[in-house]
Amino acid sequence: MDVAVDRQGASRRSPFDLRRWLTIAAALTVGYYFWFESRYPALSDKALMGDHTSISGLAFDTLVQVLPDSGIAWELLANAVNWLYTNWRGMVFGVLFGTLLMTGAPLIRARTSGNRFLDAVIGAAIGSPLGVCANCATPIACALIASGRSAEIALAALIASPTLNVIVVTMAFSMLPLHIAVIKIVATLLLILLMIPWVLRLLERPRLSPRTESEAQPLGSKRQPSFASFEDGRPGVIGSVYWFLTSFARSFFYIFVMTVPLMLAAAVLGS
Residue 23's CB is within 10 A of a number of other CB atoms, namely 25
Determine contact, residues 110/154, Cβ cutoff 8 Å: no
Region of poorest pLDDT, from 16-20, 71-75, 88-92: 71-75
Per-residue confidence band for 36, with pLDDT thresholds at 50, 70 and 90: confident
CB 143 within 8 A of CB 103: no
Reported confidence tier of residue 82, pLDDT bands at 50, 70, 90? confident
What pLDDT is recorded for position 3?
41
- d(C-alpha 55, C-alpha 130), whole Å: 23
Q: Does the pLDDT at position 194 exceed 90?
A: yes
In the chain, how many H helices and how many E strands? 11, 0
Q: Are 81 and 64 in contact (CB under 8 A)?
A: yes
Radius of gyration of the chain (CA): 21
* pTM recorded for the entire structure: 0.74
Closest-CA residue to 167 (of 31, 48, 27): 48
Burial of 209 (0-12, 13-18, 19+ CB in 10 A): exposed
C-alpha–C-alpha distance, residues 240 and 20, integer Å: 9
Please measure the distance between the N-terminal and C-terminal CA atoms of the chain and give it in whole angstroms: 38
Contact 162, 127 (CB under 8 A): no
pLDDT-derived band at 115 (thresholds 50, 70, 90) equals confident
Nearest to 200 by CA among 124, 128, 116: 116
% of the chain residues with pLDDT over 70: 71
- The whole-chain average pLDDT of the chain stands at 77
Specify whether the CB–CB gap between 106 and 232 falls below 8 A.
no
Q: Is the pLDDT of residue 12 over 90?
A: no
pLDDT of residue 235: 72
Of residues 181 and 267, more confidently modeled = 181
pLDDT confidence of residue 49: 54
Among 230, 264, 226, residue whose Cα is nearest residue 94: 264
Residue 180's pLDDT is what?
A: 93
